[in-house]
Amino acid sequence: MTARRLVYAGTFPEVGRFRVSWSDEFEEYRVQLIDPAGQLLAEYFTEDRADAVATADRMLADRAAQVGVA
């Protein structure tokens, strides 16, 4: 398992949580969307920080709309 540094994160009770982390080993960002029960809903990898943060925001907005919180 590679060490990852947390870059951006947030938790919303009805929607779930998201994390953006950086891996020095793989030189990439990982974006994860996790539901309130802890199940991984989506995962995305990119080398671009702005893309990672924008993707996390889009995932969160899509999930909020899906559960009726948007």
> Which one has a higher pLDDT value, 66 or 70?
66
Is the pLDDT reported for residue 1 higher than 90? no
- Does the structure show a pLDDT above 70 at 57? yes
Band of residue 65 on the pLDDT scale cut at 50, 70, 90: very high
* Closest of 64, 23, 67 to residue 45, by C-alpha: 23
Q: What mean pLDDT is predicted for residues 41-51?
A: 97
Give the least confident one: 2-11, 24-33, 37-46. Answer: 2-11
- Angstrom distance (rounded) from CA 8 to CA 18: 8
